[in-house]
Amino acid sequence: MKMKKYVESSSVKGLLFVLLSISALSAYGQRETVNQNNAWYMYFGNHRLSDNWLLHTEYQFRRSGLIKDWQQSLARIGLDYRFNKELTLTAGYAYIITFPYGELPVPEELDEHRIWQTLTVNQFFNGWILNHRYRLEQRWNERSSAAEESGRVYRNRIRYRGMVTVPLNGNTMQKGTLFLSIYDEIFIGFGENVAQNFDQNRLYLALGHQFSNTGNVQLGYLNQMVLKGDGINQEQNHTLMLTLTYNMDFRKR
């Protein structure tokens, strides 16, 4: 009963966060915007080590244009503790390299070390899955060589993603299921060294195929709005998304 109340409370909080996000986005509606085309090729895996512990692995091969030039390289690893199918806690590390790309490029190739913590809450409604993901990030960004100070700058960021997964040829996610995946994710910076709170927003729509009980592939579109560090310019990135998810089970049988 307590778990059910917690999940319901989380969904309400997630809805409130989305409403606040919409208000934040409207405040940036008059910025100077450049439209760009990118493609992200991604792998995700949550590999079961025991009944409750899982290893999270992830790599994102982000390209400017369809494939030609680098946009970002992102590698992420973490450890999940899954209380049940509704509630999971995760903590981990990520290493990101950002390359000069597009019409508003960074001055040079820059990297980032990131520690992150995630709370994931799932709700199930007649085959539909509503997923709430709350993530905190502690970021150490490399400074450009053109900056007055060398070294790294530390920033905090919080993210909320609300996602709906809808099976199209049945009421459960199983081998052979076709599904739609839709989400919106808001990124908010806070604390010292943050020039503006709103960082970016991502809106995603994809068609997926569950090719096995442990894996699926998705092809979709991501509309990514990124507010640049000057607080004036922003990117509207139209992004092709190709995603492979494959989970392995390392428990002894």
pLDDT value for 26: 45
Whether 85 maps to a domain, the answer reads yes
59 DSSP β-pair partners: 43, 75
Rounded mean pLDDT of 133-145? 95
Instruction: State yes or no: pLDDT of 67 exceeds 70.
Output: yes
- What is the average pLDDT score of the chain? 89
pLDDT value for 27: 47
Whether 251 maps to a domain, the answer reads no
**pTM given for the model:** 0.88
Interval 15-59: pLDDT, tens: 555 545 544 554 445 578 999 999 999 999 999 999 999 999 999
Q: Which residue, among 143, 186, 184, 145, has the nearest Cα to 162 in the 3D structure?
A: 184
Strands 32-48 and 233-246: parallel
Whole-angstrom distance, CA of residue 179 vs CA of residue 184: 17
Whether 108 maps to a domain, the answer reads yes
Q: How confident is the model at residue 11 (pLDDT cuts 50, 70, 90)?
A: low
Phi, psi of 17 (to 5 degrees): -65, -40
Whole-angstrom distance, CA of residue 251 vs CA of residue 49: 5
Whether 7 maps to a domain, the answer reads yes
Whether 253 maps to a domain, the answer reads no
Whether 252 maps to a domain, the answer reads no
Instruction: State yes or no: pLDDT of 209 exceeds 80.
Output: yes
Whether 35 maps to a domain, the answer reads yes
Whole-angstrom distance, CA of residue 233 vs CA of residue 236: 10
CATH number at residue 39: 2.40.160
Q: What sign has the CA pseudo-torsion 164, 86, 118, 43?
A: negative
pLDDT value for 168: 96
What six digits make up the tokens of 32? Answer: 């100077």
Give the residue numbers spanning the domain of 13: 2-246
Specify the number of domains making up the chain.
Answer: 1
Whether 225 maps to a domain, the answer reads yes
Phi, psi of 23 (to 5 degrees): -65, -40
